[in-house]
A and B are shown apart, each in its own frame.
Chain A
């Protein structure tokens, strides 16, 4: 599968990465070569093989329904570029 310039632009947009137009051609080429390399895996027959989710047979770890975290507003906000009255303040987003 090869990635064209438009697909590269769309993927970049979905990932919120800005790529200048003159670099798109090159990015598309690089992505195509990475996917091409990965496509070698398609040669392996995996019919009737369940996806491997863990290298050792382990069950999903669970927690009980207990509140033991939170109450750390200032820490949660400490990396934010802008805050107001306990909220993260971001550029206006309206639907």
Chain B
């Protein structure tokens, strides 16, 4: 696909009661770093542990405890920055963001406001074959996660678990370049895909390892372009921030609801107030989080417990040299090298384990045939059983053998599906199974000819009909295949029948 065939998608238009409106969306993605230990302590990051068991005295903010930074987390932030083609800041610094909440024992979160570790980058979000949105990334900074409060175990009490307190997060902040709910979901999807390729975050949204704060505002058509030209936010509407979304579906519903809410306020002559809102999935609405508003004065200041984080360019270069192949490059290579369509390459590179599975099988084999078998048969079967590819009972070498048997015409496509089924259910070596069960395709012309002659002599009426209506020849092919339990090579059968009936 050539770049000049790809354009930016049109912004989604919403019809209000009076006018047409557009939405402008920016996102802050919190991605949990894939580290074993926390950002500033040696406690484990393991999900689902006994409450308050993964807690060091640093995380519990005991007096006199000092934070020591986890080097691996720094490396992952740099790697993520490089993966988004972003500037790496060799000098960055940690600041304290002060607020009180029971799941934040320090009374402040260590974050990076003034000097983040990663500067400007971008994410290319493909919407379809011909449209792609470029979303600018403003910055990525490292920060501590907060603990977890449970509110529904007791009517008068909240319960606090500090296991998540101090786990490393990368906050990836986009510019307001996203122009519709579908684009927002696609942006999260693309970012998740890149993070998983890089191995810097596992992207598990269900466990909250990837969550998004979504900033939504609305404007009249044309205003956004003025903002891009001048960089002046006065052309955009007042934004509201929807906190803590961890589902692609709900992100879209929440944005849709929020944009419509703002439009109806504005069309009634009202004003949108900048505020933090929460999405209620049960009612499909957003509502104001007033309690957070009062505490909005975070009184940031440089964290006196931590020296500035200074990196060597050579260290950054070494990480860059070892960067894995990223989704866009891999997709282009699958198209150019393995001869796949844009669609097939997109499906296979959606996840790095899928892409690796494909490459294992496609090595020295026909790429298109391999892609068809993985996408249609394997993925179809995995979806049906709700399995992920890591747990596929059919391994790459087994699928490879099945494809070899098809390529060498030893088995027909139909038999191959039966063979796949046997390998899926019972395992085993496909080549041996074909031998044992006598599944090999009969390409022996003499043997097939015997069957053809038999069918022709048994059905003289059909032969007469076929002579006036050549389409009926297919019926004979079917009969022969049936008689040979599908093992006869259909091309050979068809050729013989044509020769014998229409000669």
B322: Cβ under 8 A from any A Cβ: no
Q: Are A65 and B73 in contact (CB under 8 A)?
A: yes
Of A58, A63, A86, A91, the contact of B68 (CB 8 Å cutoff): A63
Q: Are A66 and B60 in contact (CB under 8 A)?
A: no
Complex: how many Å from CA A35 to CA B82? 44
Residue of A nearest to B44 (CB): A67
A90 and B297 in contact, given A76-B52, A85-B51 (Cβ under 8 angstroms): no
Scan B262-297; emit 1 where CB is below 8 A from any A CB, else 0.
000000000000000010000000000101100101
Q: Are B69 and A72 in contact (CB under 8 A)?
A: no
Chain A residues, Cβ within 8 Å of B57: 76
B382: Cβ under 8 A from any A Cβ: no
Complex: how many Å from CA A71 to CA B157? 25
Q: Are A62 and B68 in contact (CB under 8 A)?
A: yes
Of B306-314, B412-420, B473-481, which binds chain A?
B306-314
Complex: how many Å from CA A61 to CA B160? 31
Residue of A nearest to B69 (CB): A62
B106: Cβ under 8 A from any A Cβ: no
A31: shortest Cβ distance to chain B, in Å?
Answer: 14
How many B residues have CB within 8 A of the partner chain? 54
Scan A11-22; emit 1 where CB is below 8 A from any B CB, else 0.
000101000000
Q: Are A68 and B157 in contact (CB under 8 A)?
A: no
Q: Are A95 and B291 in contact (CB under 8 A)?
A: yes
Scan B91-113; emit 1 where CB is below 8 A from any A CB, else 0.
00000001011100000000000
A55: shortest Cβ distance to chain B, in Å?
Answer: 11
Chain A residues, Cβ within 8 Å of B73: 65
Chain B residues, Cβ within 8 Å of A92: 151, 154-158
Scan B63-76; emit 1 where CB is below 8 A from any A CB, else 0.
00000111111100
A89: shortest Cβ distance to chain B, in Å?
Answer: 5
Chain B residues, Cβ within 8 Å of A10: 297
Complex: how many Å from CA A16 to CA B99? 10
Complex: how many Å from CA A4 to CA B101? 27
Q: Which chain B residues numbered 82 to 141 have a C-beta less than 8 Å away from chain A?
A: 98, 100-102
Chain A residues, Cβ within 8 Å of B51: 73, 85-87
Chain A residues, Cβ within 8 Å of B35: 65
Residue of B nearest to A10 (CB): B297
B323: Cβ under 8 A from any A Cβ: no
Complex: how many Å from CA A63 to CA B41? 8
Chain A residues, Cβ within 8 Å of B158: 89-94
A63 and B42 in contact, given A54-B307, A87-B150, A87-B161 (Cβ under 8 angstroms): yes
Q: Are A76 and B60 in contact (CB under 8 A)?
A: yes
The residue in A10, A51, A59, A89 that gathers the most chain B C-beta atoms within 10 A of its C-beta is A89
Q: Are A69 and B56 in contact (CB under 8 A)?
A: yes
Chain A residues, Cβ within 8 Å of B306: 60
B394: shortest Cβ distance to chain A, in Å?
Answer: 35
Residue of B nearest to A58 (CB): B307
B299: Cβ under 8 A from any A Cβ: yes
Q: Which chain B residues numbered 31 to 72 have a C-beta less than 8 Å away from chain A?
A: 35-37, 41-44, 50-58, 60, 68-72
Q: Are A70 and B53 in contact (CB under 8 A)?
A: yes
New A-B pairs, 10, CB < 8 Å, besides A70-B54, A73-B52: A65-B37, A68-B42, A69-B41, A70-B56, A86-B161, A87-B150, A88-B159, A91-B156, A92-B157, A93-B149
B162: Cβ under 8 A from any A Cβ: yes
Chain A residues, Cβ within 8 Å of B102: 88, 90, 93
Complex: how many Å from CA A67 to CA B43? 5
Of A63, A68, A73, A85, the contact of B71 (CB 8 Å cutoff): A63
Complex: how many Å from CA A76 to CA B52? 7
A70 and B55 in contact, given A63-B70, A92-B158 (Cβ under 8 angstroms): yes
Q: Which chain A residues numbered 45 to 83 have a C-beta less than 8 Å away from chain B?
A: 51, 53-54, 58-73, 76-77, 82
Q: Are A67 and B42 in contact (CB under 8 A)?
A: yes
Q: Are B55 and A95 in contact (CB under 8 A)?
A: no
